[in-house]
Structure 1
Amino acid sequence: MRSSSEEFPASLEGPALGVTDSHELLLGYLDWYREALLRKIDGLPDERLRTPVEPLGWSPLALVKHLGWVERRWLRWGFLAEDVEPRPPGGLDGEWRIGAAETTAGVLADYRAEVDRARTIAAGADLAERARLGGRFTSPEQAPSLGRILFHLLQEYARHLGHLDIARELVDGTTGE
């Protein structure tokens, strides 16, 4: 008979098992999801990246674009109260569409730039630190802690990566991990 440790290996995705610091765990898992997003679109030809998947109505590249804007909204406009646009031209619809003038390389570069900026913001703040007022949040009662924002980002990525698994399976039959 096999022991339970043989049936269920101790390896987990994300940060190393020895990481116990909450800040490091949150950032590590968030990075794991960011990397998983890019792994899940890897190998798709440009046309498939850009073409909306039916019946979903959005393309895999549009999901990447959306998550870049999510990072921007929550960490730059939200947590730091930077004076930045929270949505692209065209609002929510523009966030979920890839325009003819937008290149795949450009969308990916914009996403990576937002992720890099978000990493810098999150690494330099304490989880208990509250969002500044003036951007997304206008009163102290509305302003969440960085920890709450990072948890929200984790759930956003987890949900959307599940959506991307479905889209990828519809596009070419590839299934996620």
Structure 2
Amino acid sequence: MTVVSRPPLTSDERTQLTGWLDLQRSFVRMKCAGLGEEDAHRKLLPTSPLMTMAGLVAHLRWNEYSWFQLNLMGVPDTGQTPWTEDGHPDAEMFVDDVPLAQLLDEYDAECARSNETIAGLSLDEVEKGPYVAKGEAASLRYILCHMIEETARHLGHLDIIRELLDGTTSYTKAPE
């Protein structure tokens, strides 16, 4: 995914929501650019050992799947997700043996699938999945707002981890 532009200042609600989400999504690959496998999987936070560059990319990928496929569309989980009934709640972040390039490609593919899934839906469409929070189904509008927040929050984590790894900050390239 290449870095996209901000949505137009006066565009409609759907263009704003999907545009901001796509912009945040595009920064994920940018934050990982030039990173070696060892650094992508390096555990820098003793109290949060799953919070690695690779772990966060995997987490974002599975959040896309969870919100747009499982929750919104009601696609049944037939064992394709990393979660199990008695498993670790952050099982999606156990990716020490998965190359970063693969995780990024899976994330990009999941984002594209999410966009295809919602393309023809109204922003008022509500969740069909069995994971409806507190008995109240969320609208696509809510899900898009949440995914903007979720992606942007984890981009902040990626920013910090990347700076700790090699000094790369904000929207700059890694030091030569």
Q: Under a length normalisation based on structure 1, what TM-score does the superposition of the two structures give? A: 0.82
- Contact between 1:72 and 1:86, CA under 8 Å: does it hold in 2? no
Give the match for residue 143 of structure 2.
149
Residue number among 7, 13, 17 corresponding to 1:15 in the alignment: 7
1:54-77: CA deviation from partner (whole Å, max 9, x where unpaired): 344221011000000100111100
Identity %, equivalent residues: 36
Inter-partner Cα distance in structure 2 for 1:156 and 1:78:
16
Pairing 1:1-40 to 2, within 5 Å after superposition? 14-18=6-10, 20-40=11-31
Point out where structure 2 has 5 or more consecutive residues left out of the alignment.
Answer: 172-176
- Contact between 2:20 and 2:148, CA under 8 Å: does it hold in 1? yes
Give the match for residue 54 of structure 2.
61
Inter-partner Cα distance in structure 2 for 1:136 and 1:160:
22
Give the match for residue 71 of structure 1.
64
- Contact between 2:29 and 2:104, CA under 8 Å: does it hold in 1? no
Q: Under a length normalisation based on structure 2, what TM-score does the superposition of the two structures give? A: 0.82
Q: How many pairs does the alignment contain?
A: 161
Inter-partner Cα distance in structure 2 for 1:93 and 1:137:
19
Give the match for residue 136 of structure 1.
131
Aligned: 1:110 with 2:103: no
Inter-partner Cα distance in structure 2 for 1:17 and 1:93:
37
Distance 1:37 1:161, change over 3 A: same
Distance 1:43 1:105, change over 3 A: closer
Shift of 1:86: 7.9
SS in structure 2 opposite 1:29?
A: helix
Q: Which has the larger radius of gyration?
A: 1
**What RMSD in Å do the two structures reach over aligned CA positions?**
2.1
Look up the equivalent residue of 1:17 and give its one-letter code. L
1:98-152: CA deviation from partner (whole Å, max 9, x where unpaired): 132x2333322221221111111122211111111x432288x421100001100
- Contact between 1:59 and 1:97, CA under 8 Å: does it hold in 2? no
Shift of 1:53: 2.2
Aligned: 1:93 with 2:108: no
Point out where structure 1 has 5 or more consecutive residues left out of the alignment.
Answer: 1-12
Distance 1:131 1:75, change over 3 A: same
Inter-partner Cα distance in structure 2 for 1:105 and 1:167:
18
